[in-house]
Structure 1
Amino acid sequence: MPDVDAPVGAAVATPPSAPVLGVSAGSPDSAEGELDVRAVADLIDGRWRERRRASRDLALDPAFHRLPDQSVAEHRARVLEQLHLILDRGDVLRGFPREVGGGGDPGGNLAGFEELFLGDPSIQIKGGVQWGLFGSAVQHLGVPEQHARWLPGIMSLEVPGCFAMTEVGHGSDVASIATTATYDPQTEEFVLHTPFAAARKEYIGNAALHGLAAVVFAQLVTKGRNHGVHALYVPLRERGEDGELRFLPGIGGRDDGPKGGLNGIDNGQLWFDHVRVPRENLLRRYGDVAPDGTYSSPIASKGRRFFTMLGTLVQGRVSLGGAAVGVSKAALSIAVRYGDERRQFTGADENREVTLLDYQRHQRRLLPLLARTYAAGFAQLGLLQRFHEVFSGEHDDDESRQDLETLAAALKPTTTWLAMETLQESREACGGAGFMAENRLVTWRQDFDVYTTFEGDNNVLLQLVGKRLLTDYGKAMGKIDVAGAARFVAARAGDLALHRTPLRRAAQSVVDSGSAARSAGHLRDPDVQRELLEDRVETMVAAIAGALREVKDASPEEATEVFNAHQDELIATAKAHAELLLWEAFTAALPTVPEGTTREVLTWLRDLYGLERIERNLAWYLINGRLTAQRARVVTGYINRLLTRLRPHAVDLVDAFGYTDAHLRAPIASGAERERQEEAASHLRRRRALPERVAAG
């Protein structure tokens, strides 16, 4: 274990000649006045702020804390007990319909869910399995009669359950799962069967111990025809006379055992050996089977039916992305507060050490992540609003659902990867102290690691986003007549030719006239930032579309080969699109803040987000002629200037997240740490004040 007092952050072997301090009040680069923390808190917590804060405050109750040194068995039992405690508080059922005892508030429900990681992420995910997956599948795929039959037991936790979709052999490829549900008209039952080991349901929450029933996804076969993936409500276990839970006949399973994190959840495998399930247990909102085996559906297309069914389950992606934003906020709250207190090496004043956050490198580590977390937070609020509009029925149509699914598929990878990067950088920025379990960064990282593959692998989701971008591009091109298409192609060719020759770059250089300030002013313009971020997406989409258009009449083998050759570009394009969405969400939030210091600071933070994303991709902008080398150099210089401007407001910006010492429970982010650092500083001053003792000859 490294020494907790080992050098951290930007510390070097010898002290710097002068401290790299934040600007003083009255500097041209500093905002006058203070940040309105309360106003920013209301803005970043959004429409359901009171619900969010009430859920956040559950972490103040020790009953919801994760206990150190628990065994896996003890952890699982405690988390199940904690779900019952949450249920007793009455707020976790807001997302269910009012007619079955819910609150009819899907947006408020997810806003509260996003904060549950503060107690223990295992609580969040086990609750998500029970009510967000198992319960929501019954709600959204079933019909009212089935709601009345099964939802009360699910909502009350009388029937802990599983969401049995993923299989060992197909993972994210749900359409290809191998479990079958074959209808037998003689008995009016489905025969549920796992044909081989790779078809076993895997990583299923509640499967190892607690699950009494499951929503099982299988290929529905009637009269010799496969109608695609459907869901059935399947009892799994019954309690014996000795009180022990046992699988029902024909059902098998195994415990996945300890995992890399989230060990409060009993994940396991499930499999079925010709298990008979009543016809009435088919969740039949989108597909039904008559007693004689005749299949019917309100959606004729098998493919569209499949995507419609899966689209109703989008709330998992929405809520996981929100939780990832939350843990990024919490990690930065710890790291920024610690960096504002922890001192290391003396600077201009030999009697006073420099705080870590005054070093430029430390600012570079944390403040761009802070800007990205704010941007992600605003984007998540927009996603949550769209989710609520669709699932409350305010704007529920095919186009709205498709837009929601695409947005969720773009943001969930963005926010979960951000969480992993933020947790790791925050851990390192806190040195050895960050590696101590009591400061929570390492345990959060263990638990949140799997969020990147929950509810769809991130790369698979981004590929879906990329395909939607290509589809929209194709539709836009299809609306242009022949003459218009010719003009578009000519203009595009001219644009590319101009960007790829020295002409545009020379013109930029003339405008800059050697002035870094003029270049910085150009980059500070939000229209310029938008143009640079947007142009990158549009250019990448057009390039891939052009390559695929060349093989539109080719054989399936050749077309597949060309698509695979551009898969990495497609995913990179989807990432760039997500970055633009975050920038737009941040920019849209700024006018809602009254003019003054607070808006100015948030504008700087937005600029930092946009320019850091451009800096991260400077090679692309240079290769494609979007920036000159001179202006590219200015990007980095202006980012460093923004860091200096934001430094005095860093603690206020994390305080606005609403996580107090009691919420975080991280000693290095507490008042006790501040006292410890002051003691260390006092010791240094006393030591430097002692006269040197010279030994007598």
Structure 2
Amino acid sequence: MTELAPDAAALAEDAAETAEDVRIDVDALAEQLLGTWAETRREARELAGRSELHKAEGLTHHEHRERVFGQLKYLVDHRAVHRAFPKELGGDEDHGGNIAGFEELVTADPSLQIKAGVQWGLFGAAVLHLGTEEHHAKWLPGIMSLEVPGCFAMTEIGHGSDVASIATTATYDPETEEFVIHTPFKAAWKDYIGNAAKDGIAAVVFAQLITAGVNHGVHALYVPLRDPETKEFLPGIGGEDDGVKGGLNGIDNGRLHFDHVRVPRSNLLNRYGAVAPDGSYSSPISSPGRRFFTMLGTLVQGRVSLDGAATAAAKVALTSAIRYASERRQFNASSDVAEEVLLDYQRHQRRLLPRLATVYAMSFAHEQLLAKFDGVFSGRTDTDGDRQDLETLAAALKPLSTWSALDILQECREACGGAGFLIENRFASLRADLDVYATFEGDNNVLLQLVAKRLLNDYAKEFRTMNVGALAKFALGQAAGVAYRTGLGAVAQFVRDSGRAQRAALALRDEDTQRLLLADRVQTMVAEVAQALHGANKLPQAEAAARFNAHQNELIEAARAHAELLQWEAFTEALAEMKDPGTKQVLTWLRDLFGLSLIEKHLAWYLMNGRLSMQRGRTVGEYINRLLAKLRPHALDLVEAFGYGPEHLRAAIASGAEAERQSEASAYFASQRSSGAAPKLEKHAKQVRHPKLAS
């Protein structure tokens, strides 16, 4: 097989494209980025831009907590938190709009965003989605008005992401028609619970429901915590303050424990599981496992909102960093009298522009996730399959966006030098606050493992009739024309007329080639792990677990590759909606930069698995560098389209102050040169002999 290196025609085509008068329609692009809930986002951004909601740096954690709790009241007063609740209680029943507005609060203060999420997105949503209309009428008004600040008490010290194994119990007593809530040991204490240290006066507590000697698994109960007047814990309830954290110190995280605390039978949020007065248990879902995942699936909005909030924070960071890089000058490279703008350096472009492409991919993928979420929770597309797809999609995208946001914030910080380290420019502060996004609402690696299991299950359904030899042949990429599904749409199909990615097109910038390379990687990785795990379900439990563990890393990497493909596909689908030719051209370059950056990131895999030759592999970096040069003139327009104003950025380096300093410096040196007053550099000064020595 022979591969073609970039030829003169391709280079000439690049030059012609670059020479064209390509412009972005910033307003149209900004509108597309706002998405389906554009008006809600505009309202939320206007609110987030108000100084009353901004993070005040330098406060103690006690002061920060007080400020954020006051800001929650401000949100209530301005009807910013009721969008998802029932109309009969004053809400809008707008689930997608609720998330779209909520995630914009991260630009004001991440502590405010998460504290609001605890109150209305977790505590309130648990009552809404796990309770009945009776529960709604009884508790939601106080939750919505903030009269009842509350907690979402799921996580335990000993079982973080493993919710099914929590040890807190809720044992039913038929004589008193009460549940007895108990934490039998320290590892069963609820921990990292927002509102637990100070503000919460009630909680939705997750516990193992036991009745008539049978454990029916994890259920949720409404449990009063504190006296509303004295704010002291009620009898049998105790707790501790988690204290100062690495970020998000406007939230009073704490620990809770229960010593045989009794609550009425009616406090069980019983939409999916009920206990009759005599202690008999009933559920509309017969399978305990399916019931558990259905209950947790109703709370997926936390992951959806974190995906969007991480994307918003990354947009803010890149806007500041790229504006600064377009003004800051350093070193005389091409001129003796003018220093270079940072963003004109290829390395600086390499640092920021691929990350800009990533954020666009994150943004378009999040809009698809939000639409899927709204479809399920509005009831328009609420089948078991839709819910499973939503859960898998959220579990795939949330890890990538939160990890990317941390990477982007760090790179932006470094790209702005010492100025980036100043709190006034927000990179360090935002990164500290977003750090925990990678491990709450589901640890990222655990979430990707859930995605991987879904990929394996779907693979097994497609190939249950195949023997081991056929699976091995497929894993080696020889089964031309075979497609399989991931539950989220077709991942890949080998090209029927060739069967091999490296023969699909002559250029890596070709859309079909990028899709094939990215999809083939997912396909092959899943097939290889499926082959390795074939028959494991027939082994003794310990042996099966050991075999799975031996391939856990490959599984998670396959899930991550799948999530990257989903982002690339979302970007590509968004391109089809762009009407303005110039905008579409620039965004196509940006999509190509995203795709080729992924291929470069995983280049070793493509080389080792024979998907690219060494010759073709060397061209990946060349293509990327050419794309950087094309995108450089459009960098400011691309961040302008994010739509964040100075009230959202609040970074001195993005205010235009650097441009003023550079202009002042340039004028000073120009004046010196024109007046002849500029001193000569030592290396340019002529050597003149001393007059006396000359005589």
For 2:371, give the aligned amino acid.
Q
**Cα shift readout 1:131-173 (whole Å, capped 9, x = no counterpart):** 0000000000000011000000000000000000000001100
What residue in structure 2 maps to residue 387 of structure 1?
Answer: 373
What residue in structure 1 maps to residue 295 of structure 2?
Answer: 309
Q: 1:691/1:195 Cα in 2 relative to 1: closer, same or farther (>3 Å)?
A: closer
**What is the correspondence of 1:520-535 to structure 2 with a 5 Å cutoff?**
522-535=507-520
What residue in structure 2 maps to residue 18 of structure 1?
Answer: none
| 1:536 equivalent in alignment to 2:552 | no
For 2:530, give the aligned amino acid.
A
Aligned match of 1:201 in 182, 185, 190?
190
What residue in structure 2 maps to residue 59 of structure 1?
Answer: 48
Q: Distance in 1 between matches of 2:454 and 2:470?
A: 25
Over aligned residue pairs, what C-alpha RMSD do you find?
2.2
Ranges in structure 2 where 5+ consecutive residues have no aligned partner: 1-11, 481-494, 691-695
| 1:76 equivalent in alignment to 2:79 | no
What residue in structure 1 maps to residue 116 of structure 2?
Answer: 127
What residue in structure 2 maps to residue 167 of structure 1?
Answer: 156
What residue in structure 1 maps to residue 445 of structure 2?
Answer: 459
**Cα shift readout 1:330-360 (whole Å, capped 9, x = no counterpart):** 1000000000000001122211111000000
Aligned match of 1:232 in 221, 226, 236?
221
What residue in structure 2 maps to residue 216 of structure 1?
Answer: 205
Tell me the secondary structure at the aligned position of residue 315 of structure 2: helix
**What is the correspondence of 1:323-402 to structure 2 with a 5 Å cutoff?**
323-402=309-388
Kept in 2, the 8 Å contact 1:141–1:309? The answer is yes
Deviation (angstroms), 1:686? 3.9
Q: Distance in 1 between matches of 2:111 and 2:279?
A: 42
Q: 1:649/1:292 Cα in 2 relative to 1: closer, same or farther (>3 Å)?
A: same
| 1:583 equivalent in alignment to 2:550 | no
**Cα shift readout 1:184-212 (whole Å, capped 9, x = no counterpart):** 11111011001001100000000000001
Kept in 1, the 8 Å contact 2:216–2:288? The answer is yes
Identity of aligned residues (%): 62
Aligned match of 2:637 in 642, 652, 656?
652
Q: Distance in 1 between matches of 2:202 and 2:563?
A: 38
What residue in structure 2 maps to residue 4 of structure 1?
Answer: none
Q: 1:295/1:604 Cα in 2 relative to 1: closer, same or farther (>3 Å)?
A: same
For 2:444, give the aligned amino acid.
N
| Count of aligned residue pairs for this structure pair | 653
Deviation (angstroms), 1:543? 0.2
Deviation (angstroms), 1:490? 5.2
For 1:596, give the aligned amino acid.
P
Q: 1:407/1:488 Cα in 2 relative to 1: closer, same or farther (>3 Å)?
A: same
**What is the correspondence of 1:208-287 to structure 2 with a 5 Å cutoff?**
208-240=197-229, 244-287=230-273
| 1:412 equivalent in alignment to 2:412 | no
Q: Distance in 2 between matches of 1:320 and 1:647?
A: 30
Aligned match of 1:565 in 550, 560, 579?
550
Q: Distance in 2 between matches of 1:295 and 1:409?
A: 31
Q: Distance in 2 between matches of 1:349 and 1:615?
A: 33
Kept in 1, the 8 Å contact 2:22–2:586? The answer is no
For 1:625, give the aligned amino acid.
G
For 2:581, give the aligned amino acid.
G
Kept in 2, the 8 Å contact 1:129–1:205? The answer is yes
Deviation (angstroms), 1:680? 2.6
What residue in structure 2 maps to residue 192 of structure 1?
Answer: 181
**Cα shift readout 1:269-317 (whole Å, capped 9, x = no counterpart):** 0000000011000000001111111111111111111000000000000
Tell me the secondary structure at the aligned position of residue 172 of structure 1: coil
Deviation (angstroms), 1:580? 0.3
Kept in 2, the 8 Å contact 1:583–1:606? The answer is yes
Kept in 2, the 8 Å contact 1:203–1:256? The answer is yes
Deviation (angstroms), 1:487? 6.8
Q: Distance in 1 between matches of 2:449 and 2:555?
A: 7
Tell me the secondary structure at the aligned position of residue 256 of structure 2: strand
For 2:565, give the aligned amino acid.
L
Q: 1:668/1:297 Cα in 2 relative to 1: closer, same or farther (>3 Å)?
A: same
Q: Distance in 2 between matches of 1:261 and 1:99?
A: 38
Deviation (angstroms), 1:239? 3.7
Aligned match of 1:632 in 617, 638, 648?
617
Q: 1:268/1:647 Cα in 2 relative to 1: closer, same or farther (>3 Å)?
A: same
Kept in 2, the 8 Å contact 1:30–1:645? The answer is no
| 1:107 equivalent in alignment to 2:96 | yes
Q: Distance in 1 between matches of 2:68 and 2:119?
A: 12
What residue in structure 2 maps to residue 7 of structure 1?
Answer: none
TM-score by length of structure 2 reads 0.91
Aligned match of 1:668 in 628, 631, 653?
653
| 1:32 equivalent in alignment to 2:17 | no
Kept in 1, the 8 Å contact 2:170–2:207? The answer is yes
Tell me the secondary structure at the aligned position of residue 639 of structure 1: helix
What residue in structure 2 maps to residue 574 of structure 1?
Answer: 559
Kept in 2, the 8 Å contact 1:26–1:32? The answer is no
Q: Distance in 1 between matches of 2:596 and 2:15?
A: 25
Q: 1:306/1:432 Cα in 2 relative to 1: closer, same or farther (>3 Å)?
A: same
Q: Distance in 1 between matches of 2:446 and 2:276?
A: 36
Tell me the secondary structure at the aligned position of residue 250 of structure 2: coil
Tell me the secondary structure at the aligned position of residue 285 of structure 2: coil
What residue in structure 1 maps to residue 30 of structure 2?
Answer: 41
Deviation (angstroms), 1:114? 1.0
Q: 1:411/1:30 Cα in 2 relative to 1: closer, same or farther (>3 Å)?
A: farther
Q: Distance in 1 between matches of 2:228 and 2:473?
A: 73
Q: Distance in 2 between matches of 1:216 and 1:291?
A: 21
**Cα shift readout 1:215-256 (whole Å, capped 9, x = no counterpart):** 00000000111000000000000144xxx3100000001111
What residue in structure 2 maps to residue 138 of structure 1?
Answer: 127
What residue in structure 1 maps to residue 478 of structure 2?
Answer: 495
Kept in 1, the 8 Å contact 2:50–2:647? The answer is no
Which range is displaced more, 128-137 or 64-73? Answer: 64-73
Deviation (angstroms), 1:45? 1.3
Aligned match of 2:461 in 475, 492, 496?
475
For 2:65, give the aligned amino acid.
R
Q: Distance in 1 between matches of 2:647 and 2:85?
A: 31
Q: Distance in 2 between matches of 1:275 and 1:119?
A: 39
Kept in 2, the 8 Å contact 1:141–1:286? The answer is yes
For 1:317, give the aligned amino acid.
R
Deviation (angstroms), 1:65? 1.3
Q: Distance in 2 between matches of 1:112 and 1:619?
A: 41
Deviation (angstroms), 1:392? 0.7
Tell me the secondary structure at the aligned position of residue 643 of structure 2: coil
Deviation (angstroms), 1:688? 5.0
Q: Distance in 1 between matches of 2:535 and 2:332?
A: 63
Deviation (angstroms), 1:91? 2.6
Q: Distance in 1 between matches of 2:417 and 2:461?
A: 52
Deviation (angstroms), 1:30? 4.4
Q: Distance in 2 between matches of 1:188 and 1:414?
A: 46
Structure with more relative contact order (C-alpha pairs < 8 Å, separation 6 or more): 1
Q: Distance in 2 between matches of 1:492 and 1:117?
A: 43
